Amino acid sequence: MHNKLLILLSAFLAAPLFAGFVAADTAADERPNVVFMLSDNLGYGDLGSYGGGAVRGAPTPRLDEFANQGLRFTNFNVEAECTPSRSALMTGRYAIRSGTTRAVPVPGIPQGLAPWEYTMAEMFRDAGYDTAMFGKWHIGASEGRFPTDQGFDIWWGFPNSTDVASFPHAIGFEEGLLPSFPFYEGTAESGAKPAGEYNLEARPLVDETITERAISYIRERAGDDKPFFLYLPFSLVHHPSLPHPDFDGITGNGRFADAMVEHDHRVGQVLDALQAAGLDENTLVVYASDNGPDRAEFPHVGDTGPFRGYLGTVHEGSIRTPMILRWRGKVTPGKVSNEIVSIHDFMPSFAALAHAELPDDRAYDGVNQLPFFTGETQRSARESVLFFHDDTLIAVKWKQFKIYLREEGVERTNATYRDLWAPRVYNTMIDPKESHDIAHQSYLWTLAPLLQEVMPFVYSVNNFGLIQPGADKRSDAQVNIPFFKPELLERSLNKLKKQAAMGS
């Protein structure tokens, strides 16, 4: 058996590790603007177009209309928490490569994206785009790691998570124990400077400010021949999900429902601004969520739809979220796809869109999906995604199968894990709650594609290393991280065969 595994791995070594991207077939002066709106902790089942909305007492008419105008994805995959997902979006790389597998807890700590990471904003800027961001960063809260340090021409927002707004109001909180949690504002030239305190008084007004600044930016771009990239990571519906006073009580179904209605309205305002400025025809607009909702016992949380798990796990309820893409005249409106797409794919896809080249001194995990988005091809450029927690590989999704190498807690965040004696296999197409292990039912063959998807990543880590959290120098990168051992898989395979032979 060991020899067979070695032969299998050798075959994979001969294959290319990453698919290259194809340049978009458009003239440089016709390149579209890109607006990316990211919700915070919004679950798969929260929008009306995904089975929620009015059914849950929080109608989302603008987002539902937007879904009818674009391509709606039902198998869009993210990472398990806010910081890893946002890192993956900006870099096109698994967060484990970037040292961003955990949230940046408080301001001033040298964690987040390393200064030499190449971000989506830097790619757009280098390709001749103007770049702007309004909202939550959460992948760096110290000098050298703010959005204005990593490709954005202008930024207003906050570097940490929204829950910091409630810290000063907590029982027993001592003034001076932690640094303040400010909003920031600045430009790439001047740098980001504190611009007010983020607290519970400011919390309900955040998304109004994000939207107002976005609308002003869009108006300024009207008539400008230079394309732009506008990134809008909203604060809603992350707890504390306090809606704007204009929306407080509007549904009669509690503050989370009110916050959902406000969020829908804010997205609609941005879409209206694009139309009013005459820019919506040549603007690619993406709406997505960074991860699923928080654990069930939290107040004011979203809905995972048919899926199991919450924020902090790698079950589908955490890593499968809404994603809608609209590009008028290029993307078929009203279409729904269950093809596997990942948040990592936007970086190479947008590079193709912008006619940009990505640095070749690092590994990328995203693939160019532009031909799939525009209908040139009918299938996604990927058929698998790897899922990590911290520095541990937990599971691999391949086609309709989800293969777990480790077991995790489900109904809480920051799940703990233990190695499984034998891998577990779920068919998420017919078992979305991942509750019926089919590994012993003649599904041992799924371990072969698991190896096919995992081993190129392992070898690329050996080639390029992993960035340590908080690293300031490229020489700080680690290599040969033993988070996956073929001999452990062989042991598990033998165990499964014994179980199958015994009829267990």
Task: Say whether both 462 and 390 belong to one domain.
Answer: yes
**196-222 pLDDT, tens per residue?**
888 888 889 999 999 999 999 999 999
Residue 231 covered by a domain: yes
DSSP 233: E
Single residue among 339, 373, 407 that ends a domain in this structure: 373
Residue 24 covered by a domain: no
**337-383 pLDDT, tens per residue?**
999 999 999 999 999 999 999 999 999 999 999 999 999 999 999 99
Residue 379 covered by a domain: no
Residue 70 or residue 200, greater confidence:
70
Task: Say whether both 485 and 390 belong to one domain.
Answer: yes
Strands 401-408 and 417-427: antiparallel
In 70-200, which residue ranges form alpha helices assigned H by DSSP? 82-91, 95-98, 120-126
Task: Say whether both 11 and 132 belong to one domain.
Answer: no
Lowest mean pLDDT among 23-32, 57-66, 90-99, 234-243: 23-32
- Confidence category of residue 483, pLDDT binned at 50, 70, 90: low
pLDDT at 388 over 80: yes
User: What SS3 state is found at 474?
Assistant: helix
CA distance 44 to 363: 30
DSSP 46: S
Residue 23 covered by a domain: no
Strands 384-389 and 341-342: unpaired
Q: Give, in order, the Cα–Cα distances in Å from 40 to each of 50, 170, 413.
A: 16, 22, 15
CATH of the domain at 183: 3.40.720.10
Residue 413 or residue 347, greater confidence:
347
**91-139 pLDDT, tens per residue?**
999 999 999 988 776 666 668 899 999 999 999 999 999 999 999 999 9
In 339-419, which residue ranges form alpha helices assigned H by DSSP? 346-354, 370-373
pLDDT at 300: 63
* Closest CA relative to residue 22, chosen from 367, 476, 346: 367
DSSP 441: T
pLDDT at 3 over 50: no
pLDDT at 63 over 60: yes
Contacts 24+ apart (CB under 8 A), 305-308: 305/43, 305/44, 305/45, 305/50, 305/51, 305/52, 306/44, 306/45, 306/51, 306/432, 306/433, 307/44, 307/432, 307/433, 308/410, 308/432, 308/433, 308/434, 308/435
Residue 488 or residue 403, greater confidence:
403
Ramachandran angles phi, psi of 382, nearest 5°: -130, 155
Domain of 445 in residue numbering reads as 2-15+384-502
Active-site annotation holder among 2, 138, 265, 440: 138
What is the percentage of the chain residues whose pLDDT exceeds 70? 81
Single residue among 343, 373, 403 that ends a domain in this structure: 373
For Cα atoms 146, 152, 158, give the angle at the middle one, nearest 5 degrees: 40
pLDDT at 177: 62
Task: Say whether both 94 and 159 belong to one domain.
Answer: yes
pLDDT at 303: 92
- Confidence category of residue 463, pLDDT binned at 50, 70, 90: confident
Please confirm whether the linkage preceding 385 is cis (ω < 30° from 0): no
Lowest mean pLDDT among 6-15, 68-77, 156-165, 455-464: 6-15
Task: Say whether both 106 and 136 belong to one domain.
Answer: yes
Lowest mean pLDDT among 81-85, 433-437, 443-447: 443-447
**229-268 pLDDT, tens per residue?**
999 999 999 888 899 999 999 999 999 999 999 999 999 9
pLDDT at 440: 80
Single residue among 349, 373, 397 that ends a domain in this structure: 373
SS (H, E, C) 397-411: EECCEEEEEEEECCC
Task: Say whether both 341 and 441 belong to one domain.
Answer: no
503 Cβ neighbours under 8 A, 6+ residues apart:
none
Lowest mean pLDDT among 156-160, 267-271, 494-498: 494-498
Residue 14 or residue 308, greater confidence:
308
Task: Say whether both 369 and 389 belong to one domain.
Answer: no
pTM for this entry: 0.89
Task: Say whether both 117 and 149 belong to one domain.
Answer: yes
**89-101 pLDDT, tens per residue?**
999 999 999 999 8
Q: What is the mean pLDDT of residues 450-465?
A: 87
For the chain, how many residues are written? 504
Task: Say whether both 63 and 9 belong to one domain.
Answer: no
Ramachandran angles phi, psi of 66, nearest 5°: -60, -40
pLDDT at 179 over 80: no
Q: What is the mean pLDDT of residues 30-54?
A: 97
CATH of the domain at 9: 3.30.1120.10
82 noted as active-site residue: yes
Contacts 24+ apart (CB under 8 A), 278-283: 278/222, 279/33, 279/218, 279/221, 279/222, 280/328, 281/328, 281/329, 282/30, 282/32, 282/33, 283/32, 283/33, 283/34, 283/35, 283/327
Report residue 119 as tokens. 């971000």
pLDDT at 419: 75
138 noted as active-site residue: yes
In 42-195, which residue ranges form alpha helices assigned H by DSSP? 61-69, 82-91, 95-98, 120-126
Q: What is the mean pLDDT of the chain?
A: 86
Total domains in the chain come to: 2
Active-site annotation holder among 82, 265, 315, 344: 82
Q: Give, in order, the Cα–Cα distances in Å from 9 to each of 2, 52, 162, 445, 486.
A: 11, 44, 44, 15, 9
Task: Say whether both 412 and 497 belong to one domain.
Answer: yes
Task: Say whether both 184 and 275 belong to one domain.
Answer: yes
Residue 28 covered by a domain: no
User: What SS3 state is found at 417?
Assistant: strand
- Confidence category of residue 423, pLDDT binned at 50, 70, 90: confident
Report residue 429 as tokens. 């197409």
pLDDT at 292 over 50: yes
CA distance 405 to 419: 7
Residue 145 covered by a domain: yes
Q: What is the mean pLDDT of residues 10-18?
A: 34
Task: Say whether both 108 and 41 belong to one domain.
Answer: yes
